[in-house]
Homo-oligomer: A and B are copies of this chain.
Amino acid sequence: MGTTQVEAAQEPKYWHLKTVLGDALDSEFAVGEVLPNERELAARFGVARATLRQALEQLELEGRLQRRRGVGTTVAPPRIGVSVGPSQGSWPGEGDDAWHAVGCVEAPAPAAVARLFGPGYDAGRSVHTIRRVRTSDAQPVATDLLYVPRASVPALSQLLTPAAHPLAVLRELHRLELENEDRAVELGSARAEDAKQLERLPGAPVLVLTTRYHSGGRVAAVSVATYRADTCRLTFGDSGAMEITHHDTASGEDDRAQAS
């Protein structure tokens, strides 16, 4: 019986590993520092590589590590707070909101998006579909598809060069009076196209922010934006504050309240 198993752990190894590594990250590593490679870490902790990887995956999910194939695992900087309104209701692309249009097509909206326009919407009609990328601190944090039905921008000329097209759509959109926006956030995984824009692998965890822009009693535009979940914190509301790192979700500091 005398194994070295002092801890009689009932918690999984990878979970314990995660906390050990997390603590080490706080105390012994600086942001940007490179960790030993996975094979060595696994050997050092006496576990299989797959088990170690389970711990690293969790830490990456929490935004504490960054792993890049062919390069290594580094300590991630605190998450970036990106403001997603309501900044007193403005149209997408208005002012300078860090978005940058990279393409535009006209096509029928996918069924799931068409539904967002409401029951009165004719699903067969093609809409202006603008792909945009949002950067912060010189790195891509989000990519979105902005759907603008032709009915929302009727004055738009039909003949436009690809470069002029998205800008013209946005310009027309800004002429409308924006009445309201509503938003929803959920967890998703990056599709291939999004992943490429975000410089991540397909399947990477993202926060999907869906915004509906209301004008004239209708939904005038819909944006489906995917934010990198590892590097971003989405902030709502007025003050641009809340510039805090808190790795709460992972760490100790158990100030537990009684459970039911």
A188 in complex: contacting residue of B109, B193, B206, B249, CB < 8 Å? B249
CB distance from A68 to the nearest CB of B (A): 17
Query: Contact check: which of B102, B205, B260 meets A102 at CB < 8 Å?
Result: B260
A30 within 8 A of B: no
Q: Which residue of B lies closest to A181 (CB)?
A: B237
The answer to the question of A20 belonging to the interface, with a C-beta cut-off of 8 Å to chain B, is no
- Contact partners of A186 in chain B: CB under 8 A: 63, 79, 207, 229, 232-234
Are B235 and A182 interface neighbours, CB within 8 A?
A: yes
Contact mask A202-235 → B, CB, 8 Å, 1/0? Answer: 1101111010100000000000101001101111
State whether the Cβ of A107 lies closer than 8 Å to any Cβ in chain B: yes
Q: Are A189 and B102 in contact (CB under 8 A)?
A: no
Interface hits, A39-67 → B, CB 8 Å: 58, 61-63
Separation of A63 and B233 alpha carbons in the complex (Å): 21
CA separation between A164 and B241, bound complex, in Å? 34
Asked if B81 and A249 make an inter-chain contact with CB atoms under 8 angstroms apart, the answer reads no
Interface pair A257/B130, CB less than 8 Å apart: yes
> Which residues of A124-171 are within 8 A (CB) of B?
129-131, 133, 145, 162
| A185 interfacial contact with B, CB 8 Å | yes
Closest to A185 in B: B234
The number of times this chain is found in the oligomer is 2
Residues of B within 8 A of A244 (CB): 112, 115-116
A4 contacts partner chain B, Cβ-Cβ < 8 Å: no
> Nearest Cβ distance between residue A14 and chain B, in whole angstroms?
8
Is A3 on the interface with B (CB-CB < 8 A)?
A: no
Q: What are the residues of chain B within 8 A of A79 when measuring CB–CB?
A: 186
- B-contacting residues, A67-114, CB 8 Å: 79, 81, 86, 102-105, 107-113
Select which of B103, B184, B206, B258 is within 8 A of A236 by beta carbon: B184
Q: Are A236 and B238 in contact (CB under 8 A)?
A: no
Contacts of A205 in B (CB 8 A): 61, 187, 205
When chains A and B are docked, how far (Å) is the Cα of A202 from the Cα of B235? 26
**Inter-chain pairs besides A105-B258, A113-B246, A182-B242, 18 sampled, C-beta below 8 Å:** A18-B203, A61-B189, A62-B188, A103-B259, A104-B258, A145-B255, A180-B237, A180-B238, A182-B237, A183-B235, A183-B236, A185-B185, A185-B207, A186-B232, A188-B250, A206-B249, A208-B248, A224-B248
